[in-house]
A and B are shown apart, each in its own frame.
Chain A
Amino acid sequence: MKAVSTRLRSLAVELWLPVLVVVVWWFWSGSAGLQFYPPLSEILVRFQEMWLFDQFVSDVLPSLRNLLVGYTLAALVGIACGVIMAQLPIARRALEPIVHFLRSVPPVALVPLAILLLGFGPGMKMTIIAFSAVFATLIATLDGVRAADPVLAEVTRVYRISGRDRLLRVTLPAAAPQILGGLQVSLVIAFVVMITSEMLASTEGIGYLTILAQQTFAITDMWAGMLLLGLLGYLFNRLFTLAERRILHWHTGMREQAKTA
């Protein structure tokens, strides 16, 4: 019994403020004179009307497809180039200055150039998402592979482990914590660039509908769009953290052991 009441109390401590915020928002929004804060109940109704499922196929799916294709491309290319650059000193020396410069360009600033060169279609969006997101993963992979324990490389050589086995069983697992850190940053960048490319150049997508609603003073629609984008941002992060924990469970386990030892 005591354990139950302790858990209930701890749950109450975690939840009272978030619940209070929602309750205050619910009753305070929509009161007189708040033209930019429509009632939360109306926002939820519009959310349901817009995204479930009226514009789901026409706008939500294209956004998610662009993000998924662009991000997958960025992840694959980033990891591949990172491993190659880490193992070929000449490639690393040659490409590092260029990579660091391109990484420093605000990704969003590349969207106008992409529009210029590739037009307004989904191909442009996937390309610019992939291009913007690739550098975080590439640099993290490069650093991760290079920072691996040198003894590991020696043992691998002594046991004559090479080719595919070395890559999949030694190099990539050793660098996995860094690579996943880079992939997480890439995911955030890809998400931001997805929204931006839709806000700047589109006739479809969640970002387009949200900024259009803002420009036409359809305030409730704008809130519904922000709610969906916020929800997606939170969900992507949550899913990534779960996947990361799964992939790295051996790594965190080892760290815990080292801590208690």
Chain B
Amino acid sequence: MFKIIQKTIATGIVTTKYPGEPAQISEQFRGRPSFDFEKWKDARPATEVCPTGAISVCDEGGSRRVTVDYGLCVFCGLCAEASADQAVRITQEFELASADRRNLVLTAEYSLNTDRTHRELRAVHQRLGDLEEDVESVGQKARKNIQKLLKRSLAIRQVDAGSCNGCELEIVALNNPVYDLERFGIQFVASPRHADMLLVTGPVTRNMELALLKTYQAMPEPKVVVAVGACGISGGIFGKNYASLGGVDNVVPVDVYIPGCPPRPQALLHGILLAVGRLGERLYDDRRG
């Protein structure tokens, strides 16, 4: 016993201050690839190397539409290496969670030269509304919501609907002393009947479809569903095939999407806190009838 206490005292507090303070992460970390559409002379090299088709082009006559889907991105960094013009840059941004799947998609339209490189940028469509929401305010709002609506506790039921277990490792890490999810009054529970939130990793396999549906149905209202990682959002590298149904929202309605492969614990935390806000909206809607 003495040894245990001695070691605990010697170790001290290791818990991160995030989201109260910015996350301490390595400068090597590969976060969101950002695109300088003005500067981008050719999207095709990035498209060719992207392992999941997160970057795609559609040429029509003399024009091109480039689509970037963060919901498919595995953050490998190949697009930046392939784009000689340095228009694609890997940033350290990881707070990418969004309540709207469409917010994770950017498109840019170009007119083309005869060699099919970009001549002129015509338009950029992006709705990165949630992406820009300040994480600190998300955290503060969530804390308020948890206190007010849930009597200081949010219960999460996690379901692996077919993942490679990478996302599970990061979800488990949320409970380690460094991220310590319980400091927000958030806990993982053993039964969906005790849960307010369903945290699902994917892709959803044919064999897990029924189990996921039953787990969702077993949860009391109001409830929110969070899809974790590229596979949970879109099927990721697995996509849809004879054994995989792709993203979680093909089986149950999803309230918040957390990109990553896997999302780092802070990104999960950010997404969960964002979803808590959604839970508040649900409760309000329910009461109004």
**Chain A partners chain B:** no
